[in-house]
Structure 1
Amino acid sequence: MFLTYAVVTVVTIAANAVEAVANLMKARFVVANAAEVGVPPSWLPVLGALKGAGAVGLLLGLLGVGFIGTAAAIGLVLFFIGAVVAHIRARVFHNIAFAGAFLALAAASLVLVLAVGR
């Protein structure tokens, strides 16, 4: 079970780290997606920092600081629920799968961190 937790969490960390950097750099695709769902460009650094904090927290959880990993997973689940809701409210469905995939990764990390008891 630990191996599954580790693999899923590493994938979640990598995905969120890449997204955090893209948000902080205001990558073209991030700015376009944010505009479609009604998120102001001024929010992108904060959203990037939250994703980055989630990735760092998950890493700390993998390294043995279990309560931080659990808190990070919960935070990312809540963050991506918000992202999915933003897509639904804006009726932007052509790329909602990305937000859904990030939500699924965060949820899987949360379930697995709870299952392994870290």
Structure 2
Amino acid sequence: MFIAFVTVTVLGVVFNGAAAIIYLIGHEYPKTQADMKGLPRTYVPVLGALLAAGAVGLLAGLAVPLLGNLAATGLVLYFVGAIIAHLRVGSRDIVGGIVFLTTAIAALVLGLIHHGLT
């Protein structure tokens, strides 16, 4: 179980860290996504910071379980919101969001199993 927990956590760190970088460097993809969802482009760096915080929290969770559980919970909420935002505007391009959401859920569940409910 420990190997699964570490593997999924590191995968979540890589996924969310890479996404955070894309959002924070001003890449065009997150800007077009914000436009499509009717969000101001000024939200893009904030969303990138949330992704970065989630990635750092997952990584810190390897040493401090509560931080990892909180970060995973935050990422679950983030990606549920992202999927809802897509569906709200009629976009069915949600496969990426589902992959990220599934990774966050897996990190949360495996963290809770491995460390208990703390």
TM range (shorter): over 0.9
SS at match of 1:81: helix
Percentage identity across paired residues of the two chains: 42
Output the CA distance in 2 between the equivalents of 1:9 and 1:83: 20
The aligned counterpart of 1:70 is 69
The answer for unaligned runs of 5 or more in structure 2 is none
Please name the residue that 1:2 is paired with: 2
TM-score, normalised to structure 1's length?
Answer: 0.94
Structure 1 ranges of 4+ moved more than 6 A: none
* Unaligned runs of at least 5 residues, structure 1: none
Aligned length: 116
Aligned to 1:96: 94
Q: For structure 1, which segment, 2-11 or 28-37, has the greater mean C-alpha deviation from structure 2 after superposition?
A: 28-37
What is the CA deviation profile of residues 38-80 of structure 1, one whole-angstrom value per residue up to 9, with x for unaligned ones?
Answer: 2221001110000000000000011x11110110000000010
Q: Secondary structure at the match of 1:41?
A: coil
Offset, 1:32: 1.3
Per-residue deviation, 1:26? 2.1
Structure 2 length as normaliser, TM-score?
0.94
